[in-house]
Chains A and B, each alone.
Chain A
Amino acid sequence: MELEERARDSADNCIACTSCVAVCPVTKANPDYRGPKLVGPAHNRMHFSDESDYEDSLKLCSNCKNCDITCPNGVSVATLNMLERAKYYKAHPEKHTQADQMLSHNFQMADMLKSIPFGRSCANLGMSIGEAMGMMGAMGIAPQRKSPRFATKYFRELYKEIKQPEGLTKEVLFFPGCFIDVNDPEVGVAFVKVMNANGYKVLMDDRFKCCGSPLVVGGYLDEARSHADSNVAVINEYAAKNIPVIACCTSCSLMLKAEYTELFAQEEMAQAAKNVYDAFEFLTILADQGELKKVQVSSDKKFIYHAPCHLRAQGMGMPAVDLLKEIGVNIDSADAGCCGMSGSYGFHKENYETSMKIGSELFDKINASGAHKVVCDCGTCREQIKHGTNAKTTHPIQVLAKAYEQ
């Protein structure tokens, strides 16, 4: 059922104060981008009938949400941009590039490779060769980057091999998301360890699909809607059984918690959102109730933390940093704004320069920090950090899992 309050109507709250323009990282890095106020709220209001009427620079928005974080009037600026973008591609499907197609549909590739014997090794080899031969550039993908490799076993496979302790009475459902599932499954393994140590059994449900974030950014809104509908149905099914759904990727959790409802304004989505938690949000609730496993870290290794924009947009501070500090980890937030990657955005060849420019402040801070590792909840932020610095990266849940092992 359609909700009465729709984010798409929030353009009317815009008072043109330009706060969003002042913080938009793309506006700062790329003089061709007209900025959030103009391409979002203003354009939305001018844009009456003609679907082909389009602001060219709209494709430069990365959906990083810094505009939303800064807007004093609750305008869903980034979502307005994404809705406008989708309208445009609906009128001009031929404008979608090969890179749009690939980067928005990585989940299809991942499923296909899994079904072919040695598919993943071959694909990884293919990527190495492709990168070496400069084929990525021809496909519209930034040739400077190393594409994340497919894990030889996805998390959905590793999960089946994990022996969770008997007799755990409480349960949570894990939403791994594509990056953790196919590229970085060790994060999922660490999550299971942490939840088990706190008395929770971790469930998986094969009906979950990609959260749809890359589809939204690529302008494939109808597909994103179908992903949203099936994920929301699963989440609500577990909500009825009082089983919370937890994600370790902050872009996935933002999608499930906020963006579905903003984009599509359906009551079921708003309902499902209430049953979704970011991992450290959930652990903090346990800590507040005195139910979190106690542990004290004695190592003085120094960590630096990067807060993903999609976490900052969730309005709950930095629960991972607070929790890790609490157990004695020497960790400090870099506070250096957006890393510039924004999911698949920085992988596009034409966005590469903008993406690296945006990240430069963070790279400088990391390089100057002398930290042992960079901690960050977002997989593609970690890719960007590895690319822009020589630092090692990790997910905060891995730091906690390690603390539990000692």
Chain B
Amino acid sequence: MSKSDVVVIGNGFAGLMSALVSADQGKKVTLLSYGAGTFPLNSGVIDVLGYDDSGKAVANPAQAVGAVADEHPYKKIGTQALEESVKFFQDVVAAEGFPYVGSLNEQQWLITGVGTLKPSCLIPESMQGSKCFEASEIVLVGVKGLKDYYVDMVAENLAKELGNDKKYTVVTVDPHYKGARDLTTKDVASWMDTDAGYSDFVSQVKESAGAGKVIVVPQILGLKGNVVWKKIVAELGCPVVETTAMPPSVNGLRLRDVLLSALKKKGITVIENSKAEEAVIEGSKAVAVKAGGEVRLQTYNADKFIVATGGFYSGGITMRDFGEAKEVIFGLPIECDCVEERWVNKQLFSDKKQTFAKTGVRVDATLRGVNESGNVVLQNVYVAGRNLSGYDFCFEHSGNGVALASAYKAAKA
């Protein structure tokens, strides 16, 4: 394997974006991937900051990001890199024909799969819940046999959120499904990708559509970017909005496919099923990582490495014995308040961040790992995404935002 300029380890959102930004800098990039990243779980929407440190809802993410604590990754990344990263991302997906709406100055609103509203920052056009605000009638579409989507409950909850001065109508579409298993949103989306499925669906909802109305559907509008959404909006003559979904999320898969397509166009080499196991270090620099299948490891040489292995949740950081948290490839320093009484805040949905969630690699403003005295340990190894310490993505709703901004900064460095 010939030497790369940059080796990116990890194929979640942070890894794919690190690879794209690096390639955009004219670098020869190899990406080591294992598993599918969190895409199928996170609906492919980009939260930047939903709640501040005190648990208050954030209306303007850009402002709130400026006020985070010193330990927070956003503080190290800085608002300029965050802004540039958002633009970079929006340009990439738009060039792939799958534009994301939103900006750092306001929140977008998503309708969840149970009918509540939830803020996010960058979302695909098909998921703009705000379209409902002006409508006089909301038509909620269920699908016969679809698992985990209870259209009556969605209608009931949405009415609570949006008020009873609107009319709520429920329509159930029959996909004429004859299989032996429960339908998933992905199955229905595949059906919508066929001409026959699409026409069948349209014929069943057309009557309920029209001016002044908004159609709310589960995440079923095809697997290929926004192709089906564009077609159906034009055909029904009113906005159509998808909810978020249970895993595997169709929109998460769409975003992953779109980013992988961009990677291919940039000539980035993706090595599948290739878990990085160890690093080759010379002095204060890494020269290679060894990765591969069960039998033998391949050596991937590079000038620079970006570690986007997803922290505790995805195996980038492990803790065999309590208090012994470890970044598995380079042994980068971990910042962790490893005191048993403070580790877990027993109230899972409490108003405090979880200590375990904040555990991660201690980095400086260049996103390189630093020891306790603040000195960089490996000159050419950068850290991105959920590997970083000092934030609880779940509490503050910042998961993909931190992933994006840190990936951008790490790749630009």
- Could you tell me which A residues sit within 8 Å of B by CB distance? 17-19, 21-23, 28, 30-35, 38, 56-57, 68-73, 257-258, 261, 273-274, 276, 284, 288, 312-317, 322, 326, 335
Contacts and interface: CB of A to CB of B under 8 A. Distances in A.
A69 B186 CA distance: 19
30 contacts: A18-B248, A19-B35, A19-B247, A21-B248, A22-B36, A22-B40, A23-B36, A30-B179, A31-B181, A38-B181, A69-B272, A70-B36, A71-B35, A72-B34, A258-B294, A261-B294, A273-B294, A312-B272, A312-B273, A313-B293, A315-B272, A315-B273, A315-B274, A315-B275, A316-B298, A317-B269, A317-B274, A317-B298, A322-B1, A322-B269
A336 to B, nearest CB: 12
Nearest to A307: B272
A326 B294 CA distance: 27
B41 interface: yes
B264 interface: yes
Given A32-B179, A57-B180, A316-B274, A17 B294 contact: no
A28 B186 CA distance: 8
B36 A31 contact: no
Interface of B: 1-2, 34-37, 40-41, 177-181, 184, 186-187, 190, 247-248, 253, 264, 269-275, 291-296, 298-299, 314-315
The interface centre, meaning the residue of B2, B35, B177, B178 with most chain A CB atoms within 10 A of its CB, is: B35
Contacts of A32: 179-181
A21 B272 contact: no
B272 A317 contact: yes
Contacts of B292: 315-316
Given A18-B247, A57-B180, A57-B181, 20 more contacts: A19-B247, A21-B184, A22-B40, A28-B190, A31-B179, A33-B181, A34-B180, A35-B181, A72-B34, A72-B35, A72-B315, A73-B315, A258-B294, A258-B295, A273-B295, A274-B296, A312-B272, A315-B275, A315-B294, A317-B269
A257 B34 CA distance: 19
Nearest to B247: A18
B28 to A, nearest CB: 13
A19 B187 contact: no
B293 A316 contact: yes
A19 B248 contact: yes
Contacts of A288: 1, 299
B253 A69 contact: no
B36 A19 contact: yes
Contacts of B34: 72
Contact of B293 (A33, A57, A258): A258
B42 to A, nearest CB: 11
A322 B30 CA distance: 12
Contacts of B178: 31
A22 B248 contact: yes
A331 B118 CA distance: 46
Nearest to A311: B272
Nearest 7 pairs of A and B residues by beta carbon: A31-B179, A72-B35, A315-B293, A22-B248, A315-B273, A317-B271, A315-B274
Contacts of B36: 19, 22-23, 70, 72
B280 to A, nearest CB: 14
Contacts of B248: 18-19, 21-22
Given A33-B181, A312-B272, A335-B264, A17 B247 contact: yes
Contacts of B299: 288
Contacts of A261: 294
A31 B191 CA distance: 11
A383 B30 CA distance: 32
Contacts of A315: 271-275, 291-294
A18 B1 CA distance: 33
Chain B CB within 10 Å — which of A17, A57, A312, A317 has the most? A317
Contacts of A284: 1
B31 to A, nearest CB: 10
A319 to B, nearest CB: 8
Contacts of B180: 31-32, 34, 56-57
A35 B190 CA distance: 16
A276 B296 CA distance: 10
A315 B295 CA distance: 10
A258 B298 CA distance: 16
A326 B1 CA distance: 10
Contact of A72 (B186, B269, B314): B314
Contacts of A56: 180
B40 A18 contact: yes
B1 to A, nearest CB: 7
A73 B313 CA distance: 10
Nearest to B299: A288
Nearest to B182: A34
